[in-house]
Amino acid sequence: MQKRKLGKSNLEVSALGLGCMGMSSGYGPAGEKQAMIAVIRSAVESGVTFFDTAEIYGPFKNEELVGEALAPFRGWVKIATKFGFKIGPNGERMDGLDSRPAHIKEVAEASLKRLKTDVIDLFYQHRVDENVPIEDVAGAVKELIQAGKVKHFGLSEAGARTIRRANAVQPVTALQSEYSLFWREPEVEIMPLLEELGIGFVPFSPLGKGFLTGKIDENTKFDATDFRNVVPRFSPESRKANQAVVDLLNSIAARMKATPAQIALAWLLAQKPWIVPIPGTTKLPRLFENLGAASVELTPADLREINAASDKITLQGARYPEHLQKLIGR
């Protein structure tokens, strides 16, 4: 597995990471613990050195899973986690955000214990909290870095102005936001800014929450606990309308003896050398398929063809329900 540096930082990770959220929440029932540990450890054995989690995934269960799975390999893997959502005293999800500096430090201490480590490699603000100046957030993480408890500061789904303000206080190593052939909006404003400031980009949902694998169509039924049930882009009507982007990937994949998922990930890797996608999965075959994308070489002509065809496709449906849409790009 090739390595990449996130922006101008010294954080070097595998070209593809592993998003671990879906092992505990979001896409239906949590996976069986030992099976999920096996997937994470197989990723390490396949060359993955970058693993993504957050306290809110579960809550807490995903950090505990990642900590246990990676404990034998801690010396050569990098773990990213996140703070910023309100969580109740009994670990229940609550509405609202909390990025008060004192709370950030409490989360860091708790995450360190759950992750079985003495340092967090990359600590993201999960969503921008408009009740706390971003300078205060960046300052709190800066103090954690100075204390040796965190190595790098990141933001997730932040807007351009916030990124610039945060970076002035504590250099931002990476932005994590959604980016794929299913959601190309970051190309307009965010990616030029990241390039200017030397910030890496970690696309989550690089396979469009599974849609770009070609395994989902208008008739697919999701588990009652699956987040996609409330996502407008995943309504049956939207899925039917959006099939055009999968058809595009299928046509390229057939020619290159690859899969649609591999083409989608290879396309992302080809955009910038400081992009590190984090596809998630709970299945070993899917893990190996995704990692195979690192070996798919798209030529400039291939990329022009994909971009030209993608530009003609108007995707249908918002990528979040309204109450979550308000939390992005702030």
Q: Which backbone phi and psi does 299 adopt, to 5 degrees? A: -80, 165
Half-sphere exposure of 129 (CA within 13 A, CB side): 24
Please identify which of the residues 27, 57, 124, 179 carries the catalytic annotation. 57
The amino acid that residue 124 corresponds to is Y
- Sequence-separated (6 or more) residues with CB below 8 Å from residue 122: 6, 11, 78, 79, 80, 81, 151, 152, 153, 154, 173, 174
Is 57 a residue of the active site? yes
Looking up tokens 């205060």 gives: 136
- Sequence-separated (6 or more) residues with CB below 8 Å from residue 236: 218, 219
The amino acid that residue 319 corresponds to is R
Pairing of strands 172-178, 150-156: parallel
Report the alpha-carbon distance of residue 307 to residue 158 in Å, rounded: 25
Question: Residue 330: is it exposed, middle or buried by C-beta count within 10 angstroms (0-12/13-18/19+)?
Answer: middle
- Sequence-separated (6 or more) residues with CB below 8 Å from residue 183: 205, 208, 315, 319
Active site residues: 57
